[in-house]
Amino acid sequence: MSKVMIVTGGSRGIGAAISKAAAASDYAVAVNYHARADDADNLVREINEQGGTALAIKADISDPAQVKVLFEGVKSKLGVPSVLVNNAGTTGKICRLDEVEAETMSRVLGINTMGALYCSQEAVKLMSSKHGGCGGSIVTVSSIAARLGSPGEYVWYAASKAAVDAMTVGLAKEVGGEGIRVNAVSPGIIDTEIHALGGEPGRVDRIAPAIPMKRAGTAQEIANAVLWLCSDQASYCNGTILDCSGGR
């Protein structure tokens, strides 16, 4: 089976760490991005200069038509994907539910939930033995917010990730007999720019003392977990939601 991985939202943060780790593990990597072309191009250039294989493909994964184009592009340029990493995600600005705009909630659910569903749907069509595929792996980056609820910060984001967890369990049971393993990694507080984008650059420092390990995680630590779930070492993991939260 060819080693081709699609990483949605792969140009920065956790996605970039996953893309680099995948390339180092001999995957040809499709780095999906939506708006930040420079970041995606720079990452792809870095991977290729280090002897890996990567390409950047623009697509808004909340749009099913663009998702279809994304998968068609990967198939024609790199080959049939053997791994999909549903990493793309957004939170919106930190606030209470009664303060958030409807457009923000729709956008968050569109990317985090519907985007993961659309991409997983296309992956199954290519990977499943039912459709003549050779199998593969789907790993979604969830969040412990799905369990904690994110009160006072972004309840809608937590809801979007709870839906992703349900998708992971249900799809794993649906396609496990067709050669596809479906799992998720559930990060806690990870030190990336997502906190600043949400309106609180110091969020990591505020929350870190309440984490049992007394620190935030790194993007690389999440990438390590994702790559493990994709690997043969996790060959009997299906429907697993792996917490990577420092014990929070």
pLDDT score recorded for residue 192: 73
* pTM of the model as a whole: 0.94
- The pLDDT, as a whole number, for residue 204 is 79
Fold classification of 4-244 (topology level):
Rossmann fold (3.40.50)
pLDDT at 39: 95
What stretches in the chain show pLDDT beneath 50? 1
pLDDT for the residue 228: 98
Residues that are catalytic: 157
What single string gives the DSSP state of each residue in the chain?
---EEEETTTTSHHHHHHHHHHHHTT-EEEEEESS-HHHHHHHHHHHHHTT-EEEEEE--TTSHHHHHHHHHHHHHHT-S-SEEEE------S---GGGS-HHHHHHHHIIIIIHHHHHHHHHHHHH-GGGT---EEEEEE--THHHH--TTT-HHHHHHHHHHHHHHHHHHHHHGGGTEEEEEEEE-SB-STHHHHTT-TTHHHHHGGGSTTSS-B-HHHHHHHHHHHHSGGGTT--S-EEEESTT-
**pLDDT of res. 68:** 98
* pLDDT tens digits for range 127-161: 999 999 999 999 999 999 999 999 999 999 999 99
Domain borders along the chain are 4-244
